[in-house]
Chains A and B, each alone.
Chain A
Amino acid sequence: MIKKFLTILSVITVGYLAVSCEDDDICVEGSTPNLTVVFRNNLNAANQADTLTIYASANPDFNQQILIYEKVFSDSLKLPLGGLNDQETYFSIQRRSNSTADILTVSYNTQSEYVSKACGFRIVYENLNYQSTQHYIEYLIPSENQDLKDETATNLRIALSN
């Protein structure tokens, strides 16, 4: 009986130590959504004419800017907004290489939202508002939904001049 017991005891202990190794938790679910921007020409038709170079900054003076896109040739781009304590993000949008860049200002309220154990929290944005200079940008068409929780929907259409 004692022998049998000791065998079982050791099996249990070894089994426990083997099982208690933690599984890897990798975040695969949605995280903080990007702002989805679609570029159009001034007739609100697809713009495929020019490359775009975009920098982002938390300040209007762009002293700490981050290059997001360099000379991309696409009419649908995803722009990252700021952190939990930010309220505005500035984007410098340059059409072609040597033209004057337009500044797009996006203002919002942030909210943290629980996703999962593996992902932790993410940020969602509410009360989105847009403003821009008008060198090459002619007008902005914001979507009716002012919240950004899902980046598959288009949030903003930007009409560029010809």
Chain B
Amino acid sequence: MKQPLIFALLSAISLLGIKLQAQVDSLHVEAKTEIREVITDSIGKHAAAGNLFIGVDLFSPVMSAFTNKKGGQAMLSYRVYKKWNVVFEAGYEQNNFDQIDWNVDVDGVYFKIGFNWFASQDSKNPSNGFYLGARFAYTIYNQEIKQYPIRFSNHQVSEYGSLPKAAVSAYWMELLGGAKVHLWQGFYADVSVRPEIYLGSKKQENIDPLVIPGYGRDQGVINFSVFWGITYKLF
């Protein structure tokens, strides 16, 4: 009498146990999938590519109001991997060098390609933070040397010459440090300062370039330019 009862009880317990175990299993699986979802979510925010920004420089238009330098610059940046963003910039600039007896007009388009690497990133938004970067820049432009000095003995300027408009080009490197800050909705402020290192150029009559669109006036080995941008996150 007792034996079948015990058996039934045991089998009931074991059934329950199996059921319980099954329940635990299902819970476990659910938990696993949930964790996986969280992980993929966070990868989606921090590692996967996908933040495309378009932007314009506000510094050039502001400078246009005060100096002979006129122009504008637009940029495109795309986050390719974690902290790495590929950046493409293009602009147009008219500038003039009117010093030490020279008078040179230039106008032309320039292109810059390079990357930004975020040194510090907001944990919630990988496009918010401080970055370092580099660009390779190239410009093709018109140069008109309206006046050049001819120095006589004793280094006195004795007379002036001029050269007709010619198509020339130049290239340089930019290293940059900057910050990108979320303002509202899709808009971000993007500011960087860029030491520019002149590399080379196609010259007119061997004359070193005195002013280059996108690079600025020649001030020795290193120039500085500033980008004050407002950018918009497309996705």
Decide whether A and B assemble into one complex.
yes
**Taking beta carbons and an 8 Å cutoff, which residues of A are in contact with B?**
1-2, 4-5, 8-9, 12-13, 15-16, 19-20, 22-23, 25, 27-28, 31-34, 78, 80, 83-84, 112, 114-123, 151
Q: Which of A12, A16, A27, A114 has the most CB of B within 10 A?
A: A12
Pairwise interchain contact B155-A119, C-beta atoms closer than 8 A: yes
Give B78-118 interface residues, CB cut-off 8 Å to A.
Answer: 99-102
Whether B50 sits at the interface, judged by CB under 8 Å, is no
Question: Closest 7 interchain pairs by CB?
Answer: A120-B149, A31-B151, A12-B193, A121-B150, A5-B181, A16-B226, A19-B224
Q: B164: CB under 8 A from chain A?
A: no
Beyond A116-B208, A121-B150, 11 additional contacts (C-beta under 8 Å) are A5-B181, A9-B179, A15-B193, A20-B219, A32-B150, A34-B153, A83-B159, A117-B210, A120-B102, A121-B151, A123-B150
Q: Which residues from A are CB-within-8-Å of B220?
A: 23
Q: Which of B150, B181, B216, B226 is in CB contact (< 8 Å) with A122?
A: B150
* B window 195-224: CB within 8 A of A: 205-208, 210, 216-220, 224
Indicate whether B7 reaches chain A with its CB closer than 8 angstroms.
no
Q: Is the CB of B179 within 8 A of A31?
A: no
Does the CB pair A84–B150 fall under 8 Å? yes
Decide: A1 near B99, CB < 8 A? Known: A12-B191, A19-B224, A121-B148: no
Q: Let me know if B155 and A27 touch, CB within 8 A.
A: yes
Q: Which B residues touch A118, using CB under 8 A?
A: 100
Chain B interface, DSSP helix/strand/loop, else mixed: strand
CB distance from A130 to the nearest CB of B (A): 19
CA A129 to CA B155, docked complex, whole Å: 25
Residues of B within 8 A of A16 (CB): 193, 224-226
Asked if B139 CB lies within 8 Å of chain A CBs, one says no
The distance in angstroms between the C-alpha atoms of A1 and B183, with both chains bound, is 11
Bound Cα distance from A16 to B153, whole angstroms: 37
**Which residue on B lies nearest to A120, using beta carbons?**
B149
Contact (Cβ within 8 A) B100 A32: no
B3 is an interface residue with CB less than 8 A from chain A: no
With a cutoff of 8 Å between Cβ atoms, the chain B residues found around residue A2 in the complex are 181
Return B123 CB to nearest CB of chain A, in Å: 12
User: Are the CB atoms of B152 and A121 closer together than 8 Å?
Assistant: no
Instruction: Knowing A22-B219, A84-B161, A120-B101 are in contact, say whether A5-B193 is a contact too (CB < 8 A).
Output: no
Taking a contact as CB atoms under 8 Å apart, the answer to whether B191 and A31 are in contact is no
The digit string for B165-188, where 1 denotes a CB below 8 A from any CB of A, is: 000000000000001010000000
Q: How far is the CB of A10 from chain B (nearest CB, A)?
A: 10
Q: Which residues does chain B contribute within 8 Å of A32, judged by CB atoms?
A: 150-153, 158
Docked complex Cα distance between A150 and B154 (Å): 14
Task: Give complex CA distance A122, B158 in Å.
Answer: 9
Q: Does B41 contact A (CB under 8 A)?
A: no
Can you list 14 A-B pairs with a CB-CB distance of less than 8 A?
Answer: A1-B122, A9-B191, A9-B228, A12-B226, A15-B224, A16-B226, A20-B224, A27-B151, A32-B152, A33-B153, A83-B159, A84-B159, A114-B205, A117-B210
- Return B152 CB to nearest CB of chain A, in Å: 5
The complex places the Cα of A135 from the Cα of B148 at a distance, in Å, of 43
Contacts of B101 in A (CB 8 A): 120
Select one of A13, A80, A115 contacting B151, CB under 8 A: A115
Give the chain B neighbours of A20 by CB distance below 8 A: 216, 219, 224
B208 partner residues in chain A, CB cutoff 8 A: 116-117
Q: Is A1 touching B100 in the complex (CB atoms < 8 A)?
A: no
A134 and B211 alpha carbons, distance in the complex (Å): 54
Which chain A residues lie closer than 8 Å to B224 at the CB level?
15-16, 19-20
